[in-house]
């Protein structure tokens, strides 16, 4: 295990600032027994791929016991593994086998809500006077079962309240009705959650990714849900009761965090989280009215502004996570690049653009080989409960099935959930049986075996970037400055530390661009990484090829003279 021990005492860079994470969506990663569902033994069989990539930790989407209404984000037992994914023994073996390869395991913690099949909820429904009843959020049906307590809506469509005749009350659920919200106001509930977290930490996991953590401090009566009044008190209490003194990573998912509130979660003096997943740069590309269900082109200046604002907000205290993809988002090459002609080049461009920012990068399974959106053509191919829930709503709002399906093709969550493409063979090498969701037809050309064997494969750029973060202080700590934020095609920034500067330019468009660079970007240096041919300089006028991206490393003397060293030398210069 490369994770340094907290007992060393020395104030060093935390391991997670040098590491790149890799998200596994277990249902879709690798199926070891042919039942069509990915599983833990399947993950173990692919650990060499992750080691080869150089990643430092896995974020494992939920593998707990669950009725799988929302693919495991509805947990019925926090201290057991879903039988379709394996056993606790399998999970312990995964922790060990990953550790043998220097990889930590970060578990998904879903504690804003649980499943309606969890023993807590069953007891809560059976008796209004038991301890567990107050673990959930109830409202009296004063005006009868048809009059909702408030007009709060579920994220998946429909009301956030469901009436239970056997209780005579409504319970609150911000997601599906099978995902009742937990009542964080109850101290006994919080103590149970902390005990559960410690039980996992004692098993040797490397930390937690915390699902919708910005929702736990809610005040439902006041309608204050995200970033509610109790959020930071709870996060500080959680920290002191669980991770304090342990050398682990915590990353909280917060759809509502802003550059103003971001430092509250992860500022160095806050004792809350290591970092958060914020979504400003994702939401910046959605339609103001129909959200992701109506396709609109990416507004690049807006997108860059959000990335820049977050780099600046956490420059001195706090830490960014860096990602464009996860199991809830479309494939990044399809959304921000070109999944046709320029797939290989634009996938590398996005990797270069994101990985050279300050923060901890997260690679979502398949991103490293440029996997694309699912390309589903009928409603029947979708598996996600969100699609059905949101279709009804879009129609009510006056949208059409065609517009909705086009939006879904671009942005539905299932785009990221098709089986991992390992080979060109049957079921893309995912498993022997028919997978639970259709395999992308393009697996015959886009797969791990083909990409890895191609010297020009996307994975090699990922390896290079992941290695740079381990070895280079300027990649990790350099101060970020964005340039030409208003430019409609080019993303450009510099990172500075001591006498070293990394300058990055990325043409995010399918056009060749005559790019006029401001003086701060210009200069000779050493080629660090590129997706076409290596370049030694950014000139005041540079013609960038479609989706071209490259980075140049300069140090004090480079600005004066020309340099003819190659990328290998540059790598050594980084390490110095
Ligand atoms: O996601 C939070 C969430 O709000 C997303 O569902 C998102 O809003 C949606 O994709 C936008 O349309 C987390 C998990 O990542 C997600 O998979 C779960 O479904 C959700 O929480 C509930 O646990
Ligand atoms: Ca299986």
Dihedral pair phi/psi, residue 254, rounded to 5°: -140, 100
Whole-angstrom distance, CA of residue 274 vs CA of residue 299: 30
Burial of 283 (0-12, 13-18, 19+ CB in 10 A): middle
The residues placing their C-beta within 5 Å of ligand 2, an ion, are 31, 33, 35, 37, 39
Q: For residue 140, is it left (φ>0), alpha (ψ between -120 and 50) or beta? A: beta
Cβ of residue 328 lying under 6 Å from some atom of ligand 1: yes
Count CA atoms within 13 Å of residue 567 on its CB side: 14
- Which positions are catalytic? 211, 253
Nearest to 30 by CA among 328, 447, 455: 447
CB 352 within 8 A of CB 529: yes
Instruction: Specify the pLDDT at position 459.
Output: 98
Distance (Å) from CA 328 to ligand 1 centroid: 6
Instruction: Specify the pLDDT at position 293.
Output: 80
Distance (Å) from CA 331 to ligand 2 centroid: 24
Nearest to 56 by CA among 372, 350, 476, 345: 476
Whole-angstrom distance, CA of residue 566 vs CA of residue 90: 46
For 238-250, give one letter per residue: b (16+ CB within 10 A) or e.
bbeebbeeebbbb
Instruction: Specify the pLDDT at position 575.
Output: 53
Q: What is the pLDDT of residues 350-379, one digit of tens each?
A: 999 999 999 999 999 999 999 999 999 999
What atom of ligand 1 comes closest to residue 327's alpha carbon?
17
Nearest to 321 by CA among 297, 369, 354: 354
Whole-angstrom distance, CA of residue 279 vs CA of residue 254: 7
Q: Give the global pTM.
A: 0.95
Residue indicated by tokens 């006041």 = 222
Instruction: Specify the pLDDT at position 562.
Output: 38
CB 491 within 8 A of CB 506: yes
Distance (Å) from CA 388 to ligand 1 centroid: 15
What atom of ligand 1 comes closest to residue 255's alpha carbon?
4
Instruction: Specify the pLDDT at position 207.
Output: 98
What atom of ligand 1 comes closest to residue 112's alpha carbon?
23
Residue nearest to atom 10 of ligand 1 (CA): 328
Cβ of residue 312 lying under 6 Å from some atom of ligand 1: no
Instruction: Specify the pLDDT at position 563.
Output: 37
Question: Mean pLDDT per segment of 10 residues, for the chain of length 576 residues?
Answer: 43 90 99 98 98 98 98 98 98 98 98 98 98 98 96 94 98 98 98 98 98 98 97 98 98 98 97 98 86 85 97 97 98 97 98 98 99 95 94 89 91 97 98 98 98 98 98 97 98 98 98 97 96 96 98 77 40 52
Distance (Å) from CA 389 to ligand 1 centroid: 13
Q: Which of 66, 76, 155 to mutate to test the pocket of ligand 1 (most atoms within 8 A of CB)?
A: 155
Q: What is the pLDDT of residues 32-51, one digit of tens each?
A: 999 999 999 999 999 999 99
* Closest-approaching ligand to the CA atom of 254: 1
């Amino acid at each position: 295990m490369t994770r340094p021990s907290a007992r060393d005492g020395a104030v060093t860079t935390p391991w997670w600032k040098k590491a790149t994470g890799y998200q596994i969506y277990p249902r879709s990663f690798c199926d070891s027994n042919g039942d069509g569902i990915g599983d833990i033994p399947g993950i173990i069989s692919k650990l060499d791929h992750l080691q080869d990539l150089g990643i430092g930790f896995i974020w494992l989407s939920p593998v707990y016991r669950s009725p799988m209404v929302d693919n495991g984000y509805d947990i019925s037992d926090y201290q057991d593994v879903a039988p379709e994914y394996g056993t606790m023994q399998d999970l312990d073996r995964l922790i060990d086998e990953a550790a043998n390869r220097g990889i930590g395991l970060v578990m998904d913690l879903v504690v804003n809500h649980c499943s309606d099949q969890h023993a807590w909820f069953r007891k809560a429904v059976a008796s209004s006077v038991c301890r567990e009843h107050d673990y959930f959020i109830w409202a009296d049906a004063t005006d009868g079962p048809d009059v909702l307590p408030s007009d709060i809506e579920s994220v998946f469509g429909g009301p956030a309240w469901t009436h239970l005749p056997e209780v005579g009350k409504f319970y609150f659920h911000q997601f599906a009705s099978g995902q009742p919200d937990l009542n964080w106001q109850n101290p006994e509930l919080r103590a149970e959650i902390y005990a559960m977290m410690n039980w996992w930490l004692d098993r040797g996991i490397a930390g937690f990714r915390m699902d919708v953590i910005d929702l736990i401090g809610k005040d439902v009566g006041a309608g204050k849900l995200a970033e509610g009044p109790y959020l930071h008190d709870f996060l500080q209490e959680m920290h002191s009761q669980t991770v304090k003194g342990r050398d682990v990573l915590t990353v909280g998912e917060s759809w509502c965090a802003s550059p103003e509130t971001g430092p509250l979660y992860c500022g160095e003096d806050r004792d809350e989280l290591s970092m958060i997943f914020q979504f400003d740069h994702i939401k910046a590309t959605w339609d103001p009215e129909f959200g992701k269900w109506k396709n609109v082109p990416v507004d690049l200046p807006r997108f860059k502004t959000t990335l820049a604002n977050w780099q600046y907000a956490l420059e001195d205290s706090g830490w960014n996570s860096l990602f464009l993809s996860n199991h809830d988002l479309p494939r990044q090459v399809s959304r921000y690049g070109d999944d046709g002609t320029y797939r290989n080049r634009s996938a590398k461009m996005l990797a270069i653009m994101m990985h050279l920012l300050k923060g901890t990068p997260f690679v979502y399974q398949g991103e490293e080989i440029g996997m694309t959106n699912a390309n589903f053509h009928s409603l029947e191919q979708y598996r996600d409960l969100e699609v059905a829930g949101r279709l009804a709503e879009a129609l009510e709002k006056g949208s059409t099935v065609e517009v909705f399906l086009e939006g879904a093709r671009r942005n539905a969550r299932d785009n990221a959930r098709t089986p991992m493409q390992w080979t060109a063979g049957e079921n893309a090498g995912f498993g022997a049986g028919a997978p639970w969701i259709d395999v992308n037809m393009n697996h015959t050309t886009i797969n791990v075996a083909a990409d890895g064997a191609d010297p020009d494969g996307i994975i090699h750029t990922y390896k290079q970037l992941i290695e740079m973060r381990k070895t280079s202080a300027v990649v990790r700590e350099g101060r970020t400055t964005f340039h030409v934020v208003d430019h409609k095609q080019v993303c450009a920034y510099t990172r500075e530390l001591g006498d070293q500067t990394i300058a990055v330019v990325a043409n995010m468009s399918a056009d060749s661009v005559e790019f006029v660079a401001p003086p701060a970007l210009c200069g000779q240096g050493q080629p660090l990484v590129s997706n076409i041919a290596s370049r030694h300089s950014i000139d005041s006028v540079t013609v960038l090829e479609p989706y071209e991206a490259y980075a140049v490393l300069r140090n004090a003397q480079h600005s004066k003279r020309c340099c003819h060293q190659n990328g290998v030398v540059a790598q050594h210069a980084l390490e110095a």
